[in-house]
Amino acid sequence: MYGVVSEIARGGTSTVYLGRHIATGERVAIKTLDAFYVGHSEMVHRLLAEHELARRARHPGLLEILCADQTRNGIPYLVMEYLDGESLGALVSRSPPPRAALLAIGAQIASAVAALHAGGVVHCDLKPDNVLVLHAPGPGGWPRVKVIDYGVARLADELPRSDGAVVGTPAFMAPEQWHGAPTAKSDVYALGCMLYELVTRVPVFSGALPQLMTAHCARLPERPSLRCHDLESELDLLIVCMLAKDPERRPAMAEIAATLAALAPVTAELGRAGIASLPPAVPRPQPAAHRTRDSFGDVPSGLALRLGGHG
């Protein structure tokens, strides 16, 4: 059983809380669907389905979801591993890491998503805000990351939605995703958009929604090396291939992971110490001293209970 301590983050349809296991004191993250959406059966199904999708792949770079259930008041929730870090988007906006660190991060993202693909799952929403950079570095001082948020993930063999709805984040969506038919190669395109923006500091395409759709579906992007003149030729070519309009011309995630992992230490030779420590993270606000696992503050009605049924 778990108790809620405090709110960590709030998204468009859900809220994440810091929780603790009642018996062991282990910290967890508890994601709940906001009360407004509890009556929407598809939204409830989507949240609970994240657990089943996450169980299809195990990888150090993938968020682990421990269980999924509903409170007595019918609020669906997920219990996830607690991660101490900040989003890649926040990190880059605050103080961009050296390129070698970005390559190491990209290699880990590709490796983690390759494991998802091997489990038959397409993430469908890769973007900097869905990658968490952990505060504690990995072996050799390299940054460690976790790919999070399976809210719009789907099975690779799942049929396109019958209502024609398009889901994802427009700045990172592949042409086929705009047409409601994402595949594993759509994740490759999204990671290509991420790498492009990380190394050039500008998005592949920008503009309002109609212009973004037209650009991603029909326009060729400017080569990243034209915006970043000291870009390694191997990385330039890799990003261009990842952004191919034809999904079949994009490389597989495992190949991308291997290429980035090989490039990272070479790039790091201009200063290994520069990648050994990322810029210090902004301290996470700590819960007030009087807040305990029995002090729920503004937690939605129905969550101010022990979340039970899972030991």
261 shares a domain with 187? yes
199 shares a domain with 61? no
- What's the pLDDT score for residue 271? 43
Gap between the Cα atoms of 311 and 292, Å rounded: 20
96 shares a domain with 55? no
- What's the pLDDT score for residue 287? 36
- What's the pLDDT score for residue 165? 80
251 shares a domain with 186? yes
- What's the pLDDT score for residue 306? 38
Domain that holds residue 233: 85-276
Question: pLDDT tens digits for 263-308?
Answer: 999 888 644 444 344 444 343 333 333 332 222 233 333 333 334 4
- For residues 224-255, one letter each, b for 16 or more C-beta atoms within 10 angstroms of the residue's C-beta and e for the rest, the string is bbeebeebbeebbebbbbbbbeebeebbebee
Active site residue 125: yes
Residue 136 counted as domain residue: yes
Q: Is 87 helix (H, G, I), strand (E, B) or coil?
A: strand
Question: Domain end: 81, 98, 126, which one?
Answer: 81
116 shares a domain with 210? yes
Nearest CA among 44, 2, 47, 48 for reference residue 22:
2
Residue 245 counted as domain residue: yes
More confident residue, 144 or 266: 144
CB atoms within 10 A of CB 135: 16
**pLDDT band at 115, cuts 50/70/90?**
very high
- What's the pLDDT score for residue 282? 40
Question: Domain end: 25, 60, 81, which one?
Answer: 81
Average pLDDT along the chain: 87
Name the domain count of the chain.
2
**pLDDT band at 159, cuts 50/70/90?**
confident
140 shares a domain with 73? no
Residue 129 counted as domain residue: yes
Question: pLDDT tens digits for 189-201?
Answer: 999 999 999 999 9
8: domain CATH number is 3.30.200.20
Please determine, for residue 18, whether its predicted confidence score (pLDDT) is greater than 80. Answer: yes
Radius of gyration of the chain (CA): 20
Residue 291 counted as domain residue: no
List Cα–Cα distances, 92 to 48, 83, 95, 170, in angstroms: 31, 18, 5, 20
Question: pLDDT tens digits for 1-10?
Answer: 899 999 999 8
242 shares a domain with 95? yes
Residue 282 counted as domain residue: no
From 78-82, 249-253, 259-263, 297-301, the region with the lowest mean pLDDT: 297-301
183 shares a domain with 45? no
115: domain CATH number is 1.10.510.10
- What's the pLDDT score for residue 285? 39
Q: Following CA atoms 186, 189, 190, 196 in sequence, which dihedral angle do they give, to the nearest 10 degrees?
A: 180
75 shares a domain with 138? no
List Cα–Cα distances, 206 to 165, 202, 212, 214, 220, in angstroms: 22, 9, 6, 11, 13
**What is the mean pLDDT of the segment spanning 62-85?**
95
Structure tokens at 145: 């990351």
- Say which of 125, 149, 163, 298 is annotated catalytic: 125
- What's the pLDDT score for residue 269? 67
Residue 298 counted as domain residue: no
List Cα–Cα distances, 47 to 16, 132, 301, 303, in angstroms: 12, 20, 18, 16
Question: Domain end: 81, 105, 124, which one?
Answer: 81
Query: What's the predicted TM-score (pTM) here?
Result: 0.86
162 shares a domain with 31? no
89 shares a domain with 77? no
**What is the mean pLDDT of the segment spanning 39-48?**
94
Gap between the Cα atoms of 169 and 209, Å rounded: 10
Residue 96 counted as domain residue: yes
217 shares a domain with 113? yes
